């Protein structure tokens, strides 16, 4: 069973994604900020992290850097889901090592396709 970690502080997005990925037979983990996400990622080694950028405490950029610098998480794919939609924001996210960058609002159907492609 593939594991996915959803990191977002917006309850509606989290509920929608959790429901969608459980239906697709993923084991779903949820974090509300980057600090919590890092602990869950270290403990569970997800296949994919869906990561918001603007969150309390540790933001998505910092979380991504820490995921990418952890040897046990080197194969984990990271997809940014962010309202930050300027070209500079997208370029920064990809330069830091994100595998994909989708802007909010996003199509859940498109996201599922992107995740399936990343994992194949």
3-state secondary structure of 27: strand
Taking the C-alpha atoms of residue 27 and residue 40, their distance in angstroms, rounded to an integer, is: 13
What pLDDT was estimated at residue 72?
A: 96
What pLDDT was estimated at residue 56?
A: 87
What pLDDT was estimated at residue 51?
A: 97
Model confidence at 30: pLDDT above 90: yes
What pLDDT was estimated at residue 86?
A: 95
Over residues 61-118, the pLDDT tens digits come to 999 999 999 999 989 999 999 999 999 999 999 999 999 999 999 999 999 999 999 9
Query: pTM of this prediction?
Result: 0.96
CATH number for the domain spanning 80: value is 3.40.50.2300
Instruction: State the alpha helices, DSSP H only, in the chain.
Output: 11-23, 34-44, 60-68, 87-95, 108-119
Q: Are 112 and 82 in contact (CB under 8 A)?
A: no
- Structural domain for 59, as ranges: 3-119
| Own/partner pairs, 108-115, CB within 8 angstroms, 24+ separation | 108/16, 108/17, 108/20, 111/17, 111/20, 111/50, 111/79, 111/81, 112/20, 112/21, 112/24, 114/79, 115/4, 115/21, 115/48, 115/77, 115/79
Mean pLDDT score of the chain: 96
Average pLDDT over residues 19-29: 97
Residue 97 Ramachandran class (φ > 0 left, ψ -120 to 50 alpha, else beta): left
What pLDDT was estimated at residue 63?
A: 96
What pLDDT was estimated at residue 77?
A: 97
Q: What are φ and ψ of residue 49, in 5° steps?
A: -120, 125
* Number of domain units in the chain: 1
């Amino acid at each position: 069973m593939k594991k996915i970690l959803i990191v977002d502080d917006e309850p509606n997005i989290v509920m929608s994604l959790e429901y969608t990925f459980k239906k697709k037979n993923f084991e779903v983990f949820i974090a509300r900020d980057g600090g919590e996400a890092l602990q869950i990622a270290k403990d569970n080694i997800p296949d994919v992290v869906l990561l918001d950028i603007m969150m309390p405490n540790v933001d998505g950029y910092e979380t991504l850097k820490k995921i990418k610098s952890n040897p046990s998480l080197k194969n984990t794919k990271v997809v940014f889901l962010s309202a930050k939609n300027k070209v500079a924001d997208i370029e920064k996210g990809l330069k830091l090592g994100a595998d994909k960058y989708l802007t909010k609002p996003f199509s859940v159907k498109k996201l599922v396709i992107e995740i399936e492609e990343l994992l194949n």
